[in-house]
Amino acid sequence: MLSYTLRRLAMIVPVLFGISVIVFLIMALIPGDPALAILGSFATPDNVAKLRQDLGLDRSLVEQYVVWLGNLAHGDFGRSYSLNRPVIDEVRERLGPTLLLAGASLLLCTVLGLAAGVVSAIRQYGWQDKILTLLVLIGLSTPSFWLGLILVLVFSVQLKWFPVSGMYAIYGGGDTLDLLWHLALPAITLAVVATGVIARLTRSTMLEVLRQDFVRTARAKGLDERTVIRKHALRNALVNIVPIIGIQTGFVLGGAVYIETVFQWPGIGRMLVTAISTRDILLVQGGVLVVAACYVLINLAADLVQHMLDPRIGT
Amino acid sequence: MSATTSASAARPGWWPRLRRNHLAVVGLIILAAIALIALAAPILPLPDPNATDLPARLAPLLSPGHPLGADQLGRDMLSRIIWGTRVSLAVGVVAALAAALIGSLIGIVAGFYGRWVDTALMRAIDMLMAFPYLLLALAIVAALGPGLLNALFAISIVNIPFFARSVRGVTLGLVRRDYVDAARLTGQGDFAILTGEILPNLLPVIVITLSTTLGWMILETAGLSFLGLGAQPPQADLGSMLGEARALVLVAPHVALIPGLVILLLVIGINLVGDGIRDMLDPRLGSGGLARPGAATAVAFDAGSPTPEPPPAAAALGVRNLATHFLLGGERHKAADNVGLDLHAGECLGIVGESGSGKSVTALSILRLVPTPPGRIVGGAIHHHGQDLLGLKPADLRDLRGNRIAYIFQDPLGTLNPLLTVGEQIAETIRRHQGKSRSEAMALAVDLMERVRIPDAANRVSAYPHELSGGQRQRIGIAMALANDPDIIIADEPTTALDVTIQAEILDLLRDLRRERGTALLFITHDFGVVADLCDRVMVMYAGRVVETGPVRDVLRDPRHPYTRRLLDCVPVLGQPKRALNAIPGLPPAVNRLPQGCHFADRCDRVIERCRTSDVALDPIGPYRTVRCIRAREP
Ligand code: SF4
């Protein structure tokens, strides 16, 4: 296990490296004078000149990259011109809410998706399966930003069960309960699509596993269906499902952009949208890099969980 | 199981197959309706979608002149929705086609040229996939600036990897095929091979990927517009309409919610059609479908099936008139029909036959382990010491399984759970039936492993199946069967997957265990040699029916059924290894199209007119022997 973990850790170094190259290249795509584009409406001739120098635009692309990467390594992601503060500070502040939102959604979609998929599989073609399959189809096809609006309209405005937006109540909030209360709707909205994906995958994987010979062996031992499903079938299915849950985090982290906008959640997603509108390129760059790095780490975690579940994967 | 071969029968064309999928038809109708209306927008009698009419602002649904109301500037919602759908659809389709084109190109080049080209391209694709999907799109939009074209560009790029990966995989497989080599040898250039031999075979995978990604692309472009990063006013797509009306959702919810509803409908349509296409193009999901086998074979006697005679109470296991059929694609496969057998305490009965003869189905029917669907027991009686097994409640059936009657299966790798230690898998059945604690059961598991002669059992108990050799895995299978000291063990080809020396060791083990414990053994095999070695009596099956029974020695010395004779001819004899190749010409009849009369007639060297006209009964030809052949008494 330890050696596998180390090997897997070593493997993410080139991935992180690649991510930095891609982000760097995308920013090099900016048409016209990057300094002007980065500064956008905040451009004064002084600023432009300084930034051109900061960015080393007079040097070759490779040199620019090396300098840029060196700065990143020191935690220097540049300065946000629209906020007038270091990018790293802003990103650090907003990473927590985004991870909280994504984590809650991930928990929801994993639990609900697995449950729905297992029920669908063991009641294949039954009414439970039909209803769940329909719900999954709708879930997979729902624009989450639209669903968020509806949920706000119904549960916040009409029924007043949940707050309309934000992370804490402005007056008298601030405790965990208040946070969960604010978290509920955004987390549910964000989880819908991923729940559909996981439910669908769980159903098909379970159906495949249930046809395998070792399930017949388990039944031939006289084990009850509960044990057969849980201990034998689901566990084997999980080996294939866990990496997909890891990949789903990517969709959840992306979808968070919409949900944070709809619910005014103070996370990186909303920051990115504002930063793009104000053309605050360095802020976008920092946000994308940090979230992408988180995604890589989450996938690493999913791999390690899969390794723990499956003794056949090389040590 | 030959019962599953009919799926490959003449496949109908794609349209009938898609039409049979009702959901896909629904999707197609939704999609066609939306697309037609969107395409017809210029000729429909709609007001100008951009014509503002402030007095009508935020007109509710069903207002005069504005059936879907009007937006914050009094623009007609119906017209705006239709024109917006046009834009959304066009952007989604163009983005999808662009991603398909570029992604497929990358995939083909990588798969076709292999080596460093492949490595370089695929590493780059991996890098793109290391990003959360939408975030990469955001970064691209950030660089290019907001705008519908840039959003299209961004969404297209982030979808390229899905095409590149799947196309590369298929190309790799194709490049290794013979006809590509042949084309190379005839001097065809790379381009000719690519377009002539490879491209046509790639279309299905490209279509499948398109069908999964098109829905996403429409959702994500709408999302970017919703965020204000896609379509810019006055241009409007469904997403930007939703985004602009978001602030008004309290006052005029319809202005924001209707565009979203259209997106939902559009994507549902796409996904339904996509699912239909995938089911159609993915061969794994053929006609039988992935049906889930139930916990026990369904017992549903055919109306008017004869009441079977009760098996003798003295037998440990008595089967009469057992009929287990498979219902596949509306056809009935008589996998086992009218099968009867007796197994007495301490006895070993061998069931011999080719694959598809119904021997395994018979064995699995005893504890109702034949998968339902498609299998079901449609007639007969199965008794265990006088107790009727077919009428048992599920809980009582489970109490018997692995306890009084235990199975040993063929492929010991597939039949053991790969994620549990072998000790756990043995202990599990002990705990289930003897109510022992985990540690007691584990100790017993070690004992059992020693008894089946696994060296170093105390350590091996915590090994996983993949860490053991094939022979050792089969010993684990035997230990599991022995765990609760059953009175009957049903062994279904337990040595077939093993090599010859291991086979002999396993047979020795079974023989010794039988001698020590007096367990009755039902031994299923296709190998008469093994029967001769191990069994007291033998029963030969052909095309789902018993064709000959008798004491092993008598049957070996004087087989009466022509099929038994041919089987015995196949047994390798020491010094004459070539004889094994003397297989029986022809194939057994498909059990869904059994001929009238004797089922063996087409392959029989003694066939006469009468064999084909009337059913042949299983007749006694001596005190202990029965044969299903009208010429059995002839020399
Ligand atoms: S009944 Fe006729 S065809 Fe059938 S085995 Fe006997 S001789 Fe052959």
Encode pLDDT of B49-96 as tens digits: 787 777 777 777 777 777 788 888 878 888 889 999 999 999 999 999
User: What domains sit in chain A, N to C, each tagged with a CATH number?
Assistant: 1-87 (no CATH), 95-313 (1.10.3720.10)
Mutate which of B611, B615, B627 to test ligand 1's pocket (most atoms within 8 Å of Cβ)?
A: B611
Maximum pairwise Cα distance, chain A:
81
Would you call A210 an interface residue with chain B, using a CB distance cutoff of 8 Å?
yes
C-beta atoms of B432 and A221 within 8 A: yes
Mean pLDDT of B401-407: 89
Calpha distance B110→B120 (Å, rounded): 8
Mean pLDDT of B181-201: 76
With beta carbons under 8 A apart, name residues in chain A contacting B217: none
Characterize the bridge pairing of strands B317-328 and B331-343: antiparallel
Tokens representing B35 are: 């697309």
Calpha distance A127→B64 (Å, rounded): 43
Query: In which residue are the tokens 């995938």 written?
Result: B278
pLDDT of residue B264: 94
pLDDT band at B284; cut points 50, 70, 90: low
Residue B285: pLDDT over 80: no
Cβ(B541)–Cβ(B362) below 8 Å? yes
Nearest CA residue ID for atom 3, ligand 1: B601
Q: Which amino acid, residue B34?
A: I
Q: Which helix (H) or strand (E) holds B338?
A: strand B331-343
Cβ(A133)–Cβ(B240) below 8 Å? no
pLDDT band at B601; cut points 50, 70, 90: confident
Mean pLDDT of B107-131: 87
Dist. CA A78 → ligand 1 center (Å): 91
Q: Ligand 1: residues within 6 Å at CB?
A: B 561-562, 598, 600-601, 604, 606-607, 611, 616, 629-631
> Minimum mean pLDDT among B118-127, B293-302, B537-546: which range?
B293-302
Would you call A236 an interface residue with chain B, using a CB distance cutoff of 8 Å?
yes
Q: Which amino acid, residue A186?
A: P
Mutate which of B540, B546, B600, B618 to test ligand 1's pocket (most atoms within 8 Å of Cβ)?
A: B600
Please, which residues bridge with residue B401 across strands? B405
* ipTM of the complex, rounded to two decimals: 0.88
Tokens representing A295 are: 């995604």
pLDDT band at A42; cut points 50, 70, 90: low
Q: Which amino acid, residue B385?
A: H
pLDDT of residue B470: 83
Q: If contacts are CB pairs under 8 Å, which of residues 99-128 in chain A contact chain B? A: 121-122, 124
Cβ(A116)–Cβ(A199) below 8 Å? yes
pLDDT band at B290; cut points 50, 70, 90: low
Tokens representing B437 are: 């604690």
- Among chain B residues, the shortest Cα distance to A17 is held by B127
Tokens representing A157 are: 């405005």
Q: Read out DSSP for A101-123?
A: HHHHHHHHHHHHHHHHHHHHHHT
Characterize the bridge pairing of strands B375-384 and B317-328: antiparallel
- Among chain A residues, the shortest Cα distance to B409 is held by A217
pLDDT band at A315; cut points 50, 70, 90: low
With beta carbons under 8 A apart, name residues in chain B contacting A279: 142, 145
pLDDT of residue B581: 43
pLDDT band at B283; cut points 50, 70, 90: low
pLDDT of residue B6: 39
Backbone angles phi, psi at B234, to 5 degrees: -80, -5
pLDDT tens track for A147-206 = 999 999 899 888 888 887 777 776 666 687 788 888 989 999 999 999 999 999 999 899
Tokens representing B94 are: 């163009």
The residue among B199, B207, B201 whose CA lies nearest residue B280 is B207
The residue among B92, B55, B60 whose CA lies nearest residue B74 is B55
Calpha distance A125→B374 (Å, rounded): 14
Q: Where are the beta strands (DSSP E) in A64-206?
A: 79-80, 85-86
Mutate which of B563, B629, B633 to test ligand 1's pocket (most atoms within 8 Å of Cβ)?
A: B629
